[in-house]
Amino acid sequence: MTQIRQVQLSNFRGFKHHTVSLETVSVLVGQNNAGKSTFIDALRLLAVASRRVPSAQFQSPPDWLRGIAVGRGYKVGFETVDFDFANTHHNYDRDTPSKLQLVCSNRARLTLWLGPEPGDNFTQISTPSGGVIQTRAEAQNIDLCPILVMPPVGQFRPHETAIAKDRIREYMFGRLASQHFRNQLFEMVPEYRAWKARLEETWPSVKVESLDLGGGKNNRELTLILREGPFASEAAWVGSGLQAWMQILWFICRADKGSLVVLDEPDVYLHADLQRKIAKLVLAGGFRQAAIATHSTEIISDVEPSSITVIRKRERSSWRPSKKSELQKVVDSLGSRHNVQLSKLASARKVTLYEGEDQKFLAEFALKLSSDSYSRFASIPWFDIKGVDNNQTAIGAGKALHISTEGQIPVFLIIDRDFRTTPSIEKIKKMCEDNHLILHCWSRKEIENYFVDARPIHRIISAKKPHVLISDVETLIKESSEDLVESTIAVIVDQWHLLNRKEPASKAGKEGKRIFDDLCAGRPLEHVVSGKRLLGEISKRSKANWNVSFGAMTICRAMHESEFDDEFSVLARKLIG
């Protein structure tokens, strides 16, 4: 399914040239005046330009794009968007058009230019091959991920009159959406029922008593009655926090699942408990993509560091913290004294220790299980102990948490099997039991070995080279595995000799070969050799043969849930319950 991979901004307000990369889930953060709000404004404009495709009137470019835009496009009306077009260009450079561009995963592009005068705009759509769409019919065959930006949160009208359906749709995502809130609920019955259930679930003291049409002038007034305990009130008279929460939930409930949904600082009016629920609700919505712009450390703490996108308008591109220490620096830069890992520990009541990068792969698997599974997995604090030979780190954590919490916080330790013998693994198990650690040792050499699977690799390659057969990929895996046998035995020999220095080299060679044969007994060779090295070799040969390369994460993301080994499901149940 096509996603939006990048949004490029040129000569647009505070951005001279800037690229924001988006993932399936992106939490957009930055200091004040970093450009988050401007980026959301850009998405609002691009969303309208994308939605206008079915009614677009294609025409030649205007004079102010002479020499810049080639091919036909269309003009867009932005009447429902609260945006000052008189202040569009970076550093008041009106001689150069502002340019906003979506780059999709299928290589299709949508480009919006904003000209020197407030009403000047022009949109073009490019095909994955780079050609410019010339007609409305052609445009409707291009898969552009739709964008839905949550309208600004506002106070409800004390008196709201029923309006025509076409006007309701017109204002649905615009600046006046809150002024027609009851109209939207009244006309969209299935979505209203889902919203009512979600509101009562997430704000348990509130019940939706009625939504009625009648009364007021000409009996055309809509009323939404809420009950909290013995007290009933019309929606316009409840607190601003509850009004904001109702609008956030309504956007989530009515937004199309096949869209990129965007929430701009939804945490502003909300208590910390509700802020923590926002990311979970968006993930549970099952949207094609989601982006949340926020200052909330509660929201930031509830997602993976890889989901955080830091925007700084004076830089060429946004960036993602790859380490927890970098994430903590981002939180600190927002003016918070909030410790992300301690906050997660207090909430999740468990902690996980890894000896490598397993956490990011398990996060991808959890997302494939369900949005709720991902949310619960992401809430678990974790630490990299840099190899199981650093076992004092794991032992110290296990002991400290067991003593300080009287055994109430379990500590999980996830390790590679590597080339360990069965007695060696049993020794590690005993160490963990003695120090209150819950051990999971992968049955294959390391987690990357689980991605040596011809099915997803074939899908990745055949997407660009349709003539490649799955049998070709299976042969590639077999040959690459066999070529690593000699070097794998050499590594095992070296490891054995380090542990048995007094033994002669000839015995080390024999023992290394014996251990390798034991590891291979009843198991495919690709489960025993180094998964990292094997994937590197497979990718290298694929690049040479078909000009297609990939890494472990690319394969992980391409895998279907059913293609993951059952060991992933077993571990997931241990971690998230």
Torsion of CA 124, 129, 131, 134, to 10 degrees: -70
User: Mean pLDDT for the chain?
Assistant: 89
Q: Quick one: pLDDT at residue 169?
A: 87
Gap between the Cα atoms of 557 and 367, Å rounded:
10
pLDDT tens digit sequence for 466-476: 999 999 999 99
List, for residues 126-179, the tens digit of each pLDDT value: 999 999 999 999 998 898 999 999 999 999 999 999 999 999 988 888 888 999
**Diameter over CA atoms, the chain:** 101
C-alpha 542, offset from chain centre:
28
Question: Does residue 242 carry a pLDDT above 60?
Answer: yes
Confidence (pLDDT) at 277 = 79
Q: Is the pLDDT of residue 254 over 90?
A: yes
Q: What is the dihedral of CA 47, 16, 306, 392, to 10 degrees?
A: -170
Cα gap 151→164, rounded to integer Å = 20
Take residue 179 and report the two structure tokens written for it: 């002024």
Q: How far is CA 456 from the centre of its chain?
A: 20
Minimal CA–CA distance to 48: which of 146, 141, 118? 146
Question: pLDDT tens across 511-559, in order?
Answer: 999 999 999 999 999 999 999 999 999 999 999 999 999 999 889 988 9
Backbone angles phi, psi at 204, to 5 degrees: -60, -25
State the CATH architecture for 1-146+257-323.
3-Layer(aba) Sandwich (3.40)
Share of the chain above pLDDT 70, in %: 94
Classify residue 524 as left (phi > 0), alpha (psi -120 to 50) or beta.
beta
The pLDDT value recorded for residue 388 is: 53
| Residue 137, C-beta contacts closer than 8 angstroms, at least 6 positions apart | none
Q: What are phi and psi of 182, to 5 degrees?
A: -65, -35
Q: pLDDT for 333-372, tens place per residue?
A: 666 555 556 666 667 688 888 887 898 899 889 888 886 7
pLDDT of 250 above 90: yes
Measured between its terminal Cα atoms, the distance across the chain in Å is 30
Q: Residue 291 above 70 pLDDT?
A: yes
Under 8 Å between Cβ of 363 and 374: yes
Domain ranges of the chain: 1-146+257-323, 153-255, 340-448, 453-561
Q: Indicate the pTM of the whole model.
A: 0.68
Q: Are 3 and 260 in contact (CB under 8 A)?
A: yes
Which pLDDT value is given to residue 338?
54
User: Is there a contact between 352 and 382 (Cβ–Cβ < 8 Å)?
Assistant: yes
340-448: CATH, from 3.90.550, 3.40.720, 3.40.1360, 3.40.50:
3.40.1360
Beta bridge partners of 221: 161
Q: How far apart are the C-alpha atoms of 359 and 368, rounded to whole Å?
A: 14
Stretch 280-287: mean pLDDT, rounded? 80
Task: For tokens 């694929």, name the residue.
Answer: 542
Per residue in 57-107, pLDDT (tens digit) is: 999 999 999 999 999 999 999 988 888 898 899 988 889 999 999 999 999
